[in-house]
Amino acid sequence: MTSPATPVRQVPLHFTEDSRAGGTHVNLSAVRSDGEHLWVAGDETATVERLSAHTRDGVVTGYGDQVTVALADLVALPAPGDEEADVEGLARQGPWLWAIGSHSLKRKKVRPGDSPAKARKRLGKVVREANRYVLVRMPVDPATGLPVRELELDGETLTAAVLGAHDDALTDHLADEPLLAPFGRIPSKDNGIDVEGVAVHSTGGVDRLYVGFRGPVLRGWAVVVEVRPVTHPDDPHRLQLGRFDGGERHRLHLLDLRGLGVRDLCPDGDDLLVLAGPSMGLSGPVRVHRWTGAGVTDAAEVVGADELPVVLELRHGDGEDHAEGIALLDETDEHGHPRLLVVLDSPAAGRHTPGGGMLADVLDLPR
């Protein structure tokens, strides 16, 4: 086993006072780069956040100037807009920004000081929060770099749209999938369904969307579901799942990540980088794998460990510093290879800066 990679440097992410008060900065769950901007999300809101790069001599020294985008301002959510969507994945492709919720049930946590009876009662309560079950596609206005509800672009009207607000969530479509259906009734941290990554490739005008699952892990095999969302013919503000050549509406890929689940997916050219971590409430190990050609080929249904080489081992804390998102930066090392940004949930105390920022890691990405 190789040693964890040492970051080239750390850069602070600066959030507004309101976001810090709401805990977004310590609950980061998704990230995607977008030129001079960075899209991030926390798992306690129904918003996505845009940060802008601060540079010195052409090198990014941090991100700030936060703009908050409420999903409810762009699409009709199944629950009130102030209820969390647990956004766990972001993707940026062509004119679109995509966001996906965890699609997971939530078991109540035991709180410090709970009596045994109270602890047992809380552990017995499982909650379904409707906003967690959405996939949202938003057009990005090139003039402002921000998502809008509707956009005229090259003679075409692009409209923000949602899957999951009309009893049509991804998990509803997977209800007949033999390998996944039994896990739809199990809370996420009990090895139930738990979406934690999304990546999009466009090939031949078709958006190929890959959804990574932290759980379930099936006897050591992680799950990625491939779908092809399209605009609903009866309502431009809705999405539906298009069909593959064989008529199916999804394809299931099983990845040997050595017993770990998917924590994020990130396109790198024709490949997908897979951030892998424990499916349960454990701190490590955490690795980045390369899934070669997954974005442009008919990816295999079963992908062995030899086809998923580990390109990075990441550091992790004990109960803290959980890597939750990866993004390629517009920055290269001395060999011309891109660098990777890693954002973390439950950050250690040393990641908090005096100015209220939160440090993310920048690492060289080996080829």
Which CATH number belongs to the domain containing residue 119 in this structure?
A: 2.120.10
What is the per-residue pLDDT for 2?
A: 75
Band (142; pLDDT cuts 50, 70, 90): very high
Asked whether the predicted pLDDT for residue 300 surpasses 80, the reply is no
Domain assignment present for 54: yes
- By 3-state DSSP, what share of the chain in percent is helix, strand and coil, each rounded to 5? 10, 50, 40
Q: Which of these ranges, 42-51, 117-126, 331-340, has the smallest mean pLDDT?
A: 331-340
What average pLDDT does range 209-226 have in this prediction?
A: 97
Round to whole Å and give the CA distance between 45 and 86.
6
- Reading the block at residue 318, the tokens are 């004990």
Domain assignment present for 232: yes
Round to whole Å and give the CA distance between 175 and 198.
20
Asked whether the predicted pLDDT for residue 203 surpasses 80, the reply is no
- Reading the block at residue 333, the tokens are 């090392």
Residue 311: count of CB within 10 angstroms of its CB: 18
Q: Which of these ranges, 62-71, 96-105, 134-143, 279-288, has the smallest mean pLDDT?
A: 279-288
Residue with more model confidence, 18 or 195: 195
Round to whole Å and give the CA distance between 225 and 216.
12
Round to whole Å and give the CA distance between 38 and 31.
7
> pTM, whole model, 2 decimals?
0.96
Domain assignment present for 1: no
Round to whole Å and give the CA distance between 212 and 14.
28
What is the per-residue pLDDT for 191?
A: 94
Q: Which of these ranges, 46-55, 72-81, 332-341, has the smallest mean pLDDT?
A: 332-341
The string of pLDDT tens digits covering residues 111-138 is 999 999 999 999 999 999 999 999 999 9
User: How many domains does the structure of the chain reveal?
Assistant: 1
Domain assignment present for 36: yes
Domain assignment present for 2: no
Round to whole Å and give the CA distance between 40 and 273.
18
- Expressed as residue numbers, the domain containing 218 is 9-364
Asked whether the predicted pLDDT for residue 95 surpasses 70, the reply is yes
Share of the chain above pLDDT 70, in %: 100
* Amino acid at the residue 188: S
Residue 125 burial (10 A CB sphere; 0-12, 13-18, 19+): exposed
The string of pLDDT tens digits covering residues 21-42 is 888 888 899 999 999 999 999 9
Domain assignment present for 202: yes
Residues 6+ apart with CB under 8 A from 26: 345, 346, 347, 358
Band (257; pLDDT cuts 50, 70, 90): very high
Cα angle 255-256-262, degrees, rounded to a multiple of 5: 60
Asked whether the predicted pLDDT for residue 140 surpasses 90, the reply is yes
What is the per-residue pLDDT for 1?
A: 57
Domain assignment present for 3: no
What is the per-residue pLDDT for 227?
A: 96
Domain assignment present for 173: yes
What average pLDDT does range 247-264 have in this prediction?
A: 96
Listed in sequence order, the DSSP H helices in the chain are 17-21, 116-123, 170-173
